[in-house]
Chains A and B, each alone.
Chain A
Amino acid sequence: MNRSFRPGDLLNWLSGLTMIAALYMVFLYAPTEATMGHLQRIFYFHVSSAWVGFFAFFVTLVASIAYLASRKRHWDIVSFSSAEIGITFTAMSVITGSIWAKSTWNAWWPWQQEPRLILVTILLLIYFSYLMLRAFLEDEEQRARFAAVYGIVAFASVPLTFWSVRWWQRLHPVIFERRGAHLSRAMLVTFLFCLFTFTILYFTLLLHRSRLAKLADEVEGLKRRLHSGGGS
């Protein structure tokens, strides 16, 4: 079959290549940290996936608002696709963070000392509820409308999660402060590149997930036409 070049192809290649480059930089290019050793290398992917998690939920918020303003099905698709990706990446950052915490603080999940862990848990629960709400609504228009409202309410907890590290007594390392970063140059370059890579990966996944949802819509429409006795 002769197929033309799609924007998705570009993103596929770009995310594949940048990911290889990111792995090279994390494991070979970036210097080993003085006190934590190789363990510190988890930081690059940990923060990058946390960033994509937040960013994905932010896209859910924007798409929710856009849906309520325009009532276009397209925005609803973007909204829940992004929420699904957000959950995946937030879970990834929780898992990498746990591995790091076990080696550094000798606890997988130090609830008591670190309020940010509580808030990340809440964040995950909120977006699980978001998907559950969708599952329990039959009418497509109502589902999109309610989910959009919940997407907006849910996002209010994201900035709280982000700022909490600066609000309360903390165990979680603060890498970036107003005066600058506690990172060497090579580390900073690696870190920024990882952020870039994960952001590209996010958009690639979002594109594919949205396309899948659109195809599912088309199949649904065809099925309905088939049941109603065909016709053009």
Chain B
Amino acid sequence: MSFWRKVLTIIWKDVVAELRTKEIFSSMFVFALLLIVIFNFSFDLRVEKVAEVVPGVLWVTFVFAGTLGLNRSLALEMEDACLDGLLLAPMERGTIYFGKMLGNLIFISITEALMLPIFSAVFDLNLIRPALLLTIFLGTSGFAAVGTLLSTMAVNTRAREVMLPVLLFPIILPVVISAVKLTTGILDGLPWDSLAPWLRFLVGFDIIFLVISYLTFDYVVQG
């Protein structure tokens, strides 16, 4: 089997499991929905222009919901020693990393895709624009790249689910900052050349962390 066939097999395994249990997706979606409602009420009373807080609210929601999804995804692998079974499969550890990472990326992206129309309606602002979708995709890729590595570590600690945000948030903060800056710029209608540095930073960060996570994943799962 080629590299991508193996990766696809792992993604397919996650998708089938998810279609049967709907555990990851439903928890992420309901949580994100609750966050939007809470944010909407807490800002509605004070903020003059809701559009000014939308980029922050958008990314906080994505990051919190995404963390929930990552935790669930890896916690499921720990149950009944599924991860050990996965490690026994005749493929490299890096392949497993890519499979899990892309699976997580797909689940989080689907949740985000469903949240965007709701966001647009609640805040009365059209968020479905090509540039914004690209930004969200890039931000989520960086998030899933580091998140998959760190959640594999977190589920092995004594604190389990609590550990992931502690490990992940400080590392992912630069990605979130540049994603929020880009989102703000796009919503304000700024020209592309003033957004380009942030876009470059976002892409660079994605690449750096994807490569590092790919290279170090092997050390996390062995032992």
A residues at B contact (CB < 8 Å): 68, 118-119, 122, 125-126, 128-129, 132-133, 136-138, 141-142, 145-146, 148-150, 152-154, 156-157, 160, 167-168
Tell yes or no: B197 within 8 A of A by CB. Answer: yes
Whether the Cβ atoms of B223 and A133 lie closer than 8 Å is no
Which residues from chain A contact B197 at a C-beta distance below 8 Å? 167-168
Q: Given A129-B166, A132-B166, A141-B223, answer yes or no on A154-B171 (Cβ-Cβ < 8 Å).
A: yes
Q: Which residues of B contact A150 (CB under 8 A)?
A: 150, 153, 167
Known interface pairs A149-B153, A153-B149, A153-B171; 4 further A-B residue pairs with C-beta atoms within 8 A, sorted by A's residue number: A125-B169, A145-B220, A150-B150, A153-B212
Q: Lowest 10 CB-CB distances: which A-B pairs, in order?
A: A125-B170, A136-B157, A126-B170, A149-B216, A136-B159, A136-B158, A146-B153, A122-B173, A129-B166, A129-B167
12 cross-chain CB contacts under 8 A? A118-B177, A119-B174, A125-B170, A126-B170, A128-B170, A137-B158, A138-B158, A146-B156, A148-B219, A149-B153, A154-B171, A168-B197
What separation, in Å, do the CA atoms of A119 and B174 have in the docked complex? Answer: 8
Q: Is B146 an interface position by the 8 A CB rule? A: yes
With both chains docked as a complex, state the minimum distance between the C-beta of B35 and any C-beta of chain A, in angstroms: 22
Counting chain A CB atoms within 10 Å of each CB, the highest count among B156, B157, B205, B213 belongs to B157
Q: B192-223 interface mask toward A, CB cutoff 8 Å, 1 = contact, 0 = none?
A: 00000100010001001100110010011011
Q: For B169, give the chain A residue with the smallest CB separation.
A: A125
A119 CB, min distance to chain B CBs, angstroms:
7
Q: Is B163 an interface residue (CB 8 A)?
A: yes
Q: How far is the CB of A53 from the nearest CB of chain B, in Å?
A: 15
| A58 CB, min distance to chain B CBs, angstroms | 15
B208 contact from A137, A138, A156, A168, Cβ within 8 A: A156
Question: What residue in chain A is nearest B211 (Cβ atoms)?
Answer: A156
**In the bound complex, how far is the Cα of B178 from the Cα of A160, in angstroms?**
12
Which residues of the partner chain A approach B163 to less than 8 Å between Cβ atoms?
Answer: 132-133, 136
B47 to A: closest C-beta gap in Å: 18
Contact residues in B for A68 (Cβ distance below 8 Å): 216, 219
> Does the CB pair A145–B208 fall under 8 Å?
no
The residue of chain A having its C-beta at the shortest distance from the C-beta of B153 within the complex is A146
Residue of A nearest to B170 (CB): A125
- Asked if residues A133 and B167 are in contact (CB atoms below 8 Å), the reply is yes
CA distance A192 to B142 in the complex (A): 39
Q: Return the contact of B219 from the options A128, A149, A154 (Cβ within 8 A).
A: A149
For residue B215, give the distance in angstroms from its CB to the closest CB of chain A.
8
How far apart are B183's CB and chain A's nearest CB, in angstroms?
17
